[in-house]
Amino acid sequence: MGHVLAQAAATDPDLAGLSTADVMFRLHKNDRAHRDPEPYKRRMGAGLKLGGRHAPRAGYFLAIQPEGRSWLGAGTFHPTPAMLAAIRQEIHYNSSEFHRLRQAPTLLSYFPAGLDTTGPQLTRPPRGYSADDPDLGWLRLKTYGIGRFYSDAEVLAPDFVDKVVAGIAAARPLVDFFNEALPIAERQ
């Protein structure tokens, strides 16, 4: 993770100054919540964003796990209600920019599935938005992220870190869009 963090900091200044300890998720499970006797997770993960892995911002996520379950993601996957409201408002006010960023060819070359619309969604329009809003499908989302999986062979290849860093660089404009929407207090 140190190599990824060091190289990604060159493409996103928000990552400069972070240490590996700031971004790594713990390896051990919370035994109180799991019946599985294995004390450790099967993956090693990191949340690369200003303020570290738990900061209330959009960022990049990397998980290394066997059996083709290694994953690179970008965006915000568990936003607070305030973050969600701010992102929805930004999409509503600046929909042309949002659609341009989410459909950017560079982004889609690294994340072919595009912005994930299969996650949790509201059944009705969010409060304050019309049922005939042209962006209603995007405004109902409860998470805003993109992701892609890597095979074990890709992870073990010598150019894996370069691929991850290039994916982070491709996702940066969309991540910046989400972070610009956040209230000033949450941007710090």
In tens, the pLDDT along 106-120 reads 999 999 999 999 999
For residue 130, name the pLDDT band (cuts at 50, 70, 90).
very high
Least Cα distance to 119 among 89, 99, 147, 85 occurs for 147
User: Model pTM?
Assistant: 0.88
Q: Tell me: the pLDDT tens digits for 43-64?
A: 789 999 999 988 999 999 999 9
Number of Cβ within 10 Å of residue 35's Cβ equals 5
pLDDT digits (tens, 9 = 90+) for 137-174: 999 999 999 999 999 999 999 999 999 999 999 999 99
Q: Report the alpha-carbon angle 175-11-55, nearest 5.
A: 45
Lowest-confidence segment of 7-16, 21-30, 135-144 by average pLDDT: 21-30
- Please report the pLDDT score of residue 183 as a whole number: 74
- In the chain, where the domains are located: 2-187
What is the DSSP secondary-structure string of the chain? -HHHHHHHHHH-GGGTT--HHHHBPPSB--TTT---S--B-S-EEEEESTT-TTSSS-EEEEEE-TTTTEEEEEEESS--HHHHHHHHHHHHHTHHHHHHHHT-HHHHHH-TT-S--SS-B-SSPPTTS-TT-TTHHHHTBS-EEEEEEE-HHHHHSTTHHHHHHHHHHHHHHHHHHHHHHS-HHHH-
Cα–Cα distance measured from residue 65 to residue 82, given in angstroms and rounded to the nearest whole number: 32
- From the CB of residue 6, how many other CB atoms can be counted at a distance below 10 Å? 15
Predicted local confidence at residue 30, as pLDDT: 64
- When mean pLDDT is compared across 10-24, 91-105, 168-182, the lowest value belongs to 10-24
Instruction: Please determine, for residue 185, whether its predicted confidence score (pLDDT) is greater than 60.
Output: no
pLDDT band of 28, cuts 50, 70, 90: low
Short-list 111, 106, 122, 27, CA closest to 73: 111
Which CATH code is given to the segment(s) 2-187? 3.30.930
* pLDDT value, residue 54: 87
Q: Give pLDDT tens digits for 59-103.
A: 999 999 999 999 999 999 889 999 999 999 999 999 999 999 999
Which one, of 142, 149, 85, lies nearest residue 118 by Cα? 142
